[in-house]
Amino acid sequence: MDNCATTRVCSAAAEAALAAMRDDYGNPSSLHKKGIEAERLMTAARKTAAALLGCEREEIYFTGGATESNNIAVLGGVSARKRQGKTIVASAVEHPSVAGPLAALEKEGYQIKRIAPRAGGYFAAEDFIGAVDGDTVLLTMMMVNNELGTILPYGQVIPAVRRRFPGLLIHMDGVQGFTKLPLNVGRLGVDLFSFSGHKLYAPKGIGGLYLRKGVRVSPIQYGGGQEMGIRPGTPPVPLIAAMGAALELCRKEGPEIRSRYQALNRGLRQALAALPQVVINSPEDGCPHILSLSVPGFRSETMLHALEEEGIYVSSGSACAKGAVSEGLAAYGLPAERAQSTLRVSFSKDTTPEETAAFAAALAKVIKHLDQVINLAGPKGQEGGGQ
Ligand code: PLP
């Protein structure tokens, strides 16, 4: 139940990686047959990624994961446009792999306009559109928020901004929405799109960046010129082949996966409605593979470990926050007590209704047990009180 943190590698991906390590283990830069075989594996993976994104395969660059893709997009993109302006527009709930590079640019003198959600946790498209002006060098917004599953209004924002500022650099961190929501990067008008393999049944350490043809990004590291110099270094062919196989699986699943997630989400919300202590944080119209909830009065970590005892693994907020109260949840306006008692449940293609029912039953058991502990400890035993 923690598939936004990472997923199990699918068999097709594991087999593709093994074959690329054992048989087709050449360096794709080599001119001989072994190199050509490795290059062919990369081309096949590029083709699959391009088919899912709605772009050409030459527009796909393999990276070490979405963190690297986001760093290349933000730092490399802004670096290539040094004299074009000093303002960057971003959502206030970006993942640290976007928020971190933005903070670094802020120290260099860029002004970051961070667009926060309005009351109720919804982003208003006009807040993004109104923030972009002639001084803006980059607009970056995530597709789906990793903590709550909120779908950002990119469908309205990006085409509107593109019409007004045809040359503006636009990036989207697509990690939590890619393959889950309909997408065509060309039609949307985004220049850069980051995705991660390990959220989609590929191993960790591989991801990709869509870079629209003709858009310039400065390299943020230097080496042998692989991936057109954008991500130099010998490409990890086994990981690339594995991601290709995993993405092929996602492609075959198609949009049908969304209705499966919707059914799981609905079923779990219904089961949780029987637990009066539980508050749902995710919006009804969020991306349905993510469900964030809080049980005010109990700390996330206490519940997380109690659920672990039941054989159920979830996140406290987001895996990246590592137990700290996340800035993202604060930006959503969640009161501290609710943010500290957040659990994030997230589904994969393999999650079943029986598993979501088992989660709801285990949570009920955990709440009952923790309630008993608190009652035994008396009024001062309230979890997290005064901390
Ligand atoms: N962006 C978002 C929205 C994420 O959820 C994550 C991972 O949790 C990342 C970026 C980073 O991806 P990776 O682990 O591939 O570096």
pLDDT above 60 (res 323): no
Structure tokens that stand for 86 in this block: 């000093």
How far apart CA 325 and CA 387 sit, in angstroms, is 12
Ligand 1 centroid distance, CA of 376 (Å): 41
Q: pLDDT: is 317 or 272 the higher one? A: 272
Phi, psi of 31 (to 5 degrees): -85, -10
Ligand 1 centroid distance, CA of 34 (Å): 33
Ligand 1 atom at shortest distance from the alpha carbon of 97: 10
Please, are residues 338 and 292 in contact by the beta-carbon 8 Å criterion?
A: no
Ligand 1 centroid distance, CA of 27 (Å): 28
Q: Which of 74, 145, 146 to mutate to test the pocket of ligand 1 (most atoms within 8 A of CB)?
A: 146
Please, are residues 146 and 135 in contact by the beta-carbon 8 Å criterion?
A: no
pLDDT above 60 (res 217): yes
What pLDDT score was predicted for residue 171? Answer: 98
**Which residue's CA is the closest to the ligand 1 atom numbered 13?**
66
Ligand 1 atom at shortest distance from the alpha carbon of 173: 1
Ligand 1 centroid distance, CA of 320 (Å): 8
Which residues are identified as catalytic? 320
What pLDDT score was predicted for residue 329? Answer: 87
Q: pLDDT: is 304 or 318 the higher one? A: 304
Structure tokens that stand for 188 in this block: 């949307």
pLDDT digits (tens, 9 = 90+) for 142-201: 999 999 999 999 999 999 999 999 999 999 999 999 999 999 999 999 999 999 999 999
pLDDT above 50 (res 139): yes
Ligand 1 centroid distance, CA of 67 (Å): 6
Contact residues of ligand 1, CB 6 A cut-off: 65-67, 70, 95, 97, 142, 146, 173, 175-176, 196, 198, 207, 320
Q: Which of 140, 176, 179, 206 to mutate to test the pocket of ligand 1 (most atoms within 8 A of CB)?
A: 176
What pLDDT score was predicted for residue 385? Answer: 40
pLDDT digits (tens, 9 = 90+) for 65-121: 999 999 999 999 999 999 899 999 999 999 999 999 999 999 999 999 999 999 888
How far apart CA 28 and CA 226 sit, in angstroms, is 9
**Which residue's CA is the closest to the ligand 1 atom numbered 6?**
175
Sign of the four-CA dihedral 140, 143, 145, 148: positive
Please, are residues 174 and 287 in contact by the beta-carbon 8 Å criterion?
A: no
How many CA atoms lie less than 13 Å away from 286 in the CB half-sphere? 25
User: Checking DSSP bridges between strand 192-196 and strand 207-211, what pairing results, if any?
Assistant: antiparallel
How far apart CA 350 and CA 327 sit, in angstroms, is 31
Element (H, E) at 294: strand 290-294
What pLDDT score was predicted for residue 40? Answer: 98
Please, are residues 255 and 232 in contact by the beta-carbon 8 Å criterion?
A: no
pLDDT above 60 (res 320): no
How far apart CA 278 and CA 341 sit, in angstroms, is 10
What's the whole-number average pLDDT of the chain? 94
| Single pTM value for the model | 0.95
pLDDT digits (tens, 9 = 90+) for 279-308: 999 999 999 999 999 999 999 999 999 999
**Which residue's CA is the closest to the ligand 1 atom numbered 16?**
67
For residue 161, the SS3 value is: helix
Please, are residues 131 and 113 in contact by the beta-carbon 8 Å criterion?
A: yes
